[in-house]
Every structure is written in structure tokens, then in C-alpha cells.
Homo-oligomer: A and B are copies of this chain.
Amino acid sequence: MSLSGYVRTIELTPPALGNNTADAQRLEQVLKKELNTKNVHIPWHLVGDLSARLRQWHWQVKAVLFKDRRSFTVVDLLDPQDSGPVMGAAVDIGTTRMVIALMDLETGETLGETGFDNPQADIGPDVLTRILHAKTPAGREALKRLAVDALNQHLARLCKENNRTPDRVFLVAGAGNTAMTHLFAGLPAFGIIQEPYIPCTNILDTLDAADLGLAVHPRGQVFLFPNIGSYFGGDLLAGILAADLDQKDQPCIMVDVGTNAEIVLGNKDWLMACAGAAGPALESGVSQMGMTAKPGVIDRVRVDPETRDLIIHTIDDEPAVGICGSGMIDLAAALFVSGRIDIRGKLVTEACGDRLTNENDIPAFDLVAAKDSGTGRAIRLSQVDLNSLTSAKAAMYTILEVIVSQTAGLSFSDLARFYVAGTFGSFINPNSAITIGMLPDIPLDRFQVLGNTSLKGAEQVLTDPAAFDRVMAIRETITYIELNVNQGFMNLFSGAKFYPHTDTSRFPSVKV
């Protein structure tokens, strides 16, 4: 990684009579050759000291570089004897959480990672409220400051924990969705939510960290992942990069299950994507049903093969306080295989026994009794909750079917890899997701959990100059599919609302 990265220690031929290229062009020529590029930009602020430094360093120099759409740029020139760290910060700019990874740019190593709540939530927990707040310049500035200040503070702490200082952070790469990227950069974002849904910019060219107010190296450079459009953001591009989807021989798919389901399908020759709310189904989707992970949250549920009882697992084995999204999928699968819900996803009175209860005339299932829970109340799943899950899983399967079969003309078995991205996705048990008919019934070994692909993509951009061009190329080549919730979609959706599906031949591995 180091040899092909943004930090290069290079040696120049000292000038002589007959070799009298000027100092700046001498450096430029060597860097062009080293980087195999036509354009290397040495910014003005480095020119004044260049002659003295090159001589003082005996014509050796450690160059910290970065890229924009036009050229490589020299961010700083260091004494090759300088043993101080040369670092970068990768940032996942999430709506709810922000995560920083501190990188050693010379080794490509991640030195440490830290996550924190996005303080823009003080203005509004959801993106919509924030976008409305950003209608005024003062609102934009406030939102930007909240995110940037928090980033500065947590980055400083992360550096300190690693016995380093933020002024040695030369490069920052951040990935977020389109709205979050706009709000992080202090840009107006209202066009994103108003027809015809026009972002201010889809490509934020490499920026001066100082222009954003980032407390890193004074001449530090910032790359924010570009967007494809209002509903397809830089986080997804980072994901494609992290999954190497643009370099696959065989078609692969990546699914990021967040507030929306975002899906990319393709290989080295083509990429297509769809995202956004697929009708009301996803709006009350999987991720909104559960709690986020914390001690006592039920994250895994299975059926005891002997007793047919439900066996729950809570985080840190604490008394149960709730259930998270992945636990919900496990639970639905367990309820289904144990006959406690039927193929329509309805609670079966006889099978549920004394666990069945009733709330406001709506049937509900007590997963944990009040006396055993950590809250003093039963951990209860109502038929309404179940219906939401059913709609969400059906929407997910339908979207997958639309893009894989109807749009790309493939069958699910053609998918060489099924990548699951995002924090939520990391915890999904593919087996359970197949059981309820949320994910297609393909061999389990094709599923691969990628974790935080926004962060991983950002890390890649900091350590591999080729990644920059790949991101721009992906942006150009990807086809964005508008999901039309038309009659055809609704027909598919209706079949997918069954467990696992009206057409059980699609799920041969699911045995009830």
C-alpha cells in the first residue's frame, strides 16, 4: 500500500550546468514520472521555500500528495528524515452516527477508530428537519459547525490516544448520503427534497480542510465522495469501492439496508443501482422497528430443535430490554418455522399458546414476560409490528427481483456474491432472512457481510490513488434505476408478502 500511496520519498538529480531545469519543474518532472501522470500541481505556498529545502535535504524529499479531478497536488513537502507520522482521517458521515478511522498514510494501516452521535441530531434527528433548517445561511452554518466541531473534537481525542496530533493529518476522506454530504459541507440542500430533486452539487472537488473548518494540517485536503443524485449518495459509491464491485468478473450485488434499501448490481463491465423509498412498505421498514444495539437488546433468536421453544440471546447477556432489527428477522424466522405465524405472517393462536396476548384488540406475542425483562414490562411483538416487518421484507425481496430479474435479466443464482453493507446489515443472519423470504435463497457462502463500507471506501481513497479514478469512473458508468411502484411492482410485492413467498419453489432450502 505504501509504495503505491500518497506519500512518496523521492530523490532528485541535483542540477548542474547542462541540466538546469528550475527547482519546481525538477520536482514536478520526478513526481510525474513517479505517479505516471501528466499533471502534478505544486501549490504556490510551497514554491517559496522549495529551493532552500531541496538543497537542505540533499535533493531528497518526502512528498505528501493528493488528487483532484484535474491532477495530483502536492499537499506538503517533508524532510525525508522527518520521522513524524503522516496521517489521514476517513470519516463515515452518517445521519445518526459519525465514525472516524485514523490512518497511517505511509503504511496504509488503521491506527484507531472512534464513533460518536452526529450532533446535527440536536437540530433534528431526521434528515428532513435538518434540510429545512438549512434553508437559511445561518442554519447551514450551524449544521456544518455542529458536525465539523464534533469531528474536530473526536479526531483530536483519537490522535491523542495514539500519541499523535491532528496537525499531522494531511488528508481527510468522508462519505455520506447526498443530504448529509451537503449539510456537512454547509451547502443548501433543499433542492434534494423538492421536485425535481436537484442537489446543489454532485461532485465536491477536493477541498481545503481550512475552508471547511477542519482542524487538521493547515494545508490539509478533503475529499468528499461524490453523489449520483439526490437519492444515491457518496456512501453508496464508497460501498461499491469497498466491495470492489467495479472490478468483479461475475455479477455481484450489494445491499445496504438502512432507512432505505439501497442496491447496486454489476461487475467490471456494468453497474446499476436503485435506492429510495419503494412505496410506503419500506417507510416503516426493518431498521425502524428495532432498537439500536446496547446491553439487554435481543440480537439473536432461534428455535430449540427439541422443545420448539424460542431461545433468545441479549447483548452482554443482560435482561432483555427490547429487540434490534436483526433480532426481529431472527424472531420472524423462528416464529415461522415453529408454526407460530402462518404463511401470511399472522400469529397462529393455537401455536402461540399462552404467549399470545392482546393489546387494544390487536393480537400480540410476548417474547419475554414482564417478570423476566429488564424493563419490568413484557417484550411484546404485536401483529402490527409483524405486518410492518412483512411489508418491509416483501419490499426488499421485490426490489431485488425487479433489479436482478426484470432489469438486469439475471436470476438470483447468477449472483456470485451477495454483499450486505451497513451497520444494520452486519448483524442480519442470512439464513433467517432467507427463511422469511427477505433475501433470495442462494447458497449461504455467497453472502458476505461488509460492515461499514462508507468508512472502508473512505479509507481506500486515502491509501490508494487509483481509488480516486475508480470512484469517478463508477460515477460515470453506473445506471440509476428509478423504482416505479406500478401495478407490476405491486403484483410482485403481493407474492413476496407471504412467508417465504407464494411461490415456494423459489425457496427450496426453507423447510417448515
Binding site for B on A (CB under 8 A): 15-25, 39, 41-42, 44-45, 47-48, 50-52, 69-71, 140, 186-188, 191, 195-205, 207-208, 211, 227, 229-230
Contacts and interface: CB of A to CB of B under 8 A. Distances in A.
A133 to B, nearest CB: 16
A24 B197 contact: no
A24 B71 contact: no
Nearest to A16: B196
A201 B22 contact: yes
Nearest to A25: B202
A208 B18 CA distance: 33
A3 B365 CA distance: 75
B200 A24 contact: yes
A47 B196 contact: no
Nearest to A480: B20
Given A47-B187, A50-B200, A229 B20 contact: yes
Contacts of A208: 44
SS class of chain A's interface: helix, strand, loop or mixed? loop
Given A41-B205, A44-B207, A208-B44, A23 B70 contact: no
B195 A24 contact: no
Contacts of A200: 22-24, 47-48, 50-51
B52 A188 contact: yes
A201 B24 contact: yes
A335 B23 CA distance: 50
A22 B191 CA distance: 9
A203 B52 CA distance: 18
Given A50-B200, A51-B200, 19 more contacts: A19-B196, A20-B198, A20-B230, A22-B198, A22-B199, A22-B200, A22-B203, A22-B229, A23-B198, A23-B200, A25-B201, A39-B70, A41-B70, A47-B200, A47-B204, A48-B186, A48-B187, A51-B188, A51-B191
A420 to B, nearest CB: 29
Most B Cβ at <10 Å: residue of A47, A71, A140, A187: A47
Nearest to A140: B48
Contacts of A24: 200-203
B22 A227 contact: yes
Most B Cβ at <10 Å: residue of A15, A52, A71, A187: A187
Contacts of A191: 23, 51
5 contacts: A20-B196, A22-B199, A24-B202, A25-B202, A51-B191
A18 B195 CA distance: 11
A191 B15 CA distance: 11
A441 B41 CA distance: 48
Contacts of A18: 196
A410 to B, nearest CB: 26
A69 B384 CA distance: 63
Nearest to A137: B48
